[in-house]
Amino acid sequence: MALCQLDHLVVTAADLDSGCAHVKAVLGVEPQGGGEHLGMATHNRLLRLGDSSYLEVIAPNPQAPAAVRARWFGMDDPQRLRVPRLATWVVRTSSMAELVAGLPWHPGTVVPMQRGPWQWHITLTEDGQMAMDGLLPTCIAWQGPQHPTEFMPEQGCRLLRLELLHPPECTLVEPLRALSLSEEVPVVTRMEHGSARLRAVIQTPLGERVLEG
Cβ neighbours of residue 59 closer than 8 Å, sequence gap 6 or more:
12, 13, 14, 15, 16, 18, 19, 42, 43, 44, 75, 81
* CA triple 58-63-65, angle to 5 deg: 95
Rounded mean pLDDT, 145-159: 95
pLDDT level of residue 84 (50, 70, 90 thresholds): very high
Burial class for 65, CB neighbours closer than 10 Å (0-12, 13-18, 19+)? exposed
What phi, psi does 174 have (nearest 5°)? Answer: -65, -45
Q: What pTM did the predictor assign?
A: 0.95
Task: Give the strand pairing for 54-60 and 138-142.
Answer: unpaired
What phi, psi does 169 have (nearest 5°)? Answer: -75, -5
pLDDT level of residue 56 (50, 70, 90 thresholds): very high
Say how far apart CA 118 and CA 79 lie, in whole Å.
30
Res 1 pLDDT > 70? no
What pLDDT, in 10s, does the model give residues 28-44? 999 999 999 989 999 99
Q: Which helix (H) or strand (E) holds 71?
A: none
* CA triple 85-89-91, angle to 5 deg: 165
Residue 105 amino acid letter = W
What pLDDT, in 10s, does the model give residues 9-24? 999 999 999 999 999 9
Query: Residue ranges per domain, the chain?
Result: 5-212
Quick check: 156 and 209 in contact, CB under 8 A? no
5-212 CATH pick, 3.10.450.50, 2.40.50.140, 1.10.260.40, 3.10.180.10:
3.10.180.10
Report CA Rg, the chain.
16
What pLDDT, in 10s, does the model give residues 130-148? 999 999 999 999 998 899 9
Q: What is the DSSP letter of 137?
A: P
Res 113 pLDDT > 60? yes
At 2 the pLDDT is 66
Biggest CA-to-CA distance, the chain = 43
Residue 212 β-bridge partners: 199
Res 171 pLDDT > 90? no
